[in-house]
Amino acid sequence: MPVKYKANSGFTLVELLIVIALIAILSVAVLATINPIEQTNKANDSTTQNDAAEVMNAYERYYTSQNQYPWMEFTEAAGSELTVDDALIVSSDRAGFGICYGAPGASYGQAGVCNTTGTDLGLLIEKDELKTAFVNKREFQDPGDNNEGGLWMAKTAGSGGGIYVCYIPRAKANRSMTEKLYCLDSANSEIIRAGDVGTAGTCAALEVNSDVWSTPTLNGTTGMFRCVPE
């Protein structure tokens, strides 16, 4: 008696194409929801904010032990000594920031030597307020050419003037939080929260909804900085 074999059932080509199409649609939907680039930017912002907080704490420890801040070891461009009353803004690759080395008596705004070897160490590292490896972080590798990779120290006028350590956020979510953004005006050493009225320079004319707040500019002159403390 002949044996009958049952044909194996399977997907047709049309069914396979439908399944592939559904998987593609679901994948796009999941990626749109998760937005891996935005998540990466949020993680980078969180790391930078933690670094800014570490630097802020190091400044306070340095002042407690040395009775001055790192930038006060240097001079202004005109050659005069800096005091605790002076207002200034300095980026993280400059000698006055305290991470990269600057020769004694030089201007606080000179380009620092950012390394971890020898005796050419920034004052915060030399005085053991921060670990030597801290200088290897991206914030200290020429933020002038990498706007979103730097930190800025902003000191307001007066002995009781506030000190802020600021950065440009990468994540859209953080850039849209206007109430937590600041304007830095290097020419007038101003740091102003978004929406507050400035007294001079580029910060004076800014409005909360101005396009400037969504466009960071080079070397800490205007717009869209988040700072520690907030």
Residues for the chain: how many in total?
Answer: 230
Half-sphere exposure of 108 (CA within 13 A, CB side): 27
Binning pLDDT at 50, 70 and 90, where does residue 219 land? very low
Computed over every residue of the chain, the mean pLDDT equals 78
Residue 134 tokens read as 């801290």
For 193, the domain range is: 16-228
Of the segments 72-81, 162-171, 205-214, which one has the largest average pLDDT value? 162-171
In a domain, 1, yes or no: no
In a domain, 69, yes or no: yes
User: What are the backbone angles phi and psi of residue 69, rounded to the nearest 5°?
Assistant: -95, 160
Residue 116 tokens read as 């971890």
The amino acid at residue 225 is F
Question: Is residue 173 over pLDDT 90?
Answer: no
In a domain, 2, yes or no: no
Binning pLDDT at 50, 70 and 90, where does residue 94 land? confident
Residue 125 tokens read as 């590292």
In a domain, 112, yes or no: yes
Sequence-ordered alpha helix ranges (H) in 80-179 = 123-126, 172-175
Cα–Cα distance between 185 and 53 in angstroms, integer? 21
Question: Is residue 25 over pLDDT 80?
Answer: no
Q: Of 1-5, 38-42, 175-179, 215-219, where does mean pLDDT reach its minimum?
A: 215-219
As for how many domains the chain has, the answer is: 1
Higher pLDDT, 6 or 147: 147
Cα–Cα distance between 163 and 150 in angstroms, integer? 17
In a domain, 4, yes or no: no
Percent over 70 (pLDDT), the chain: 72
- The stretch 135-154 carries a mean pLDDT of 70
In a domain, 8, yes or no: no
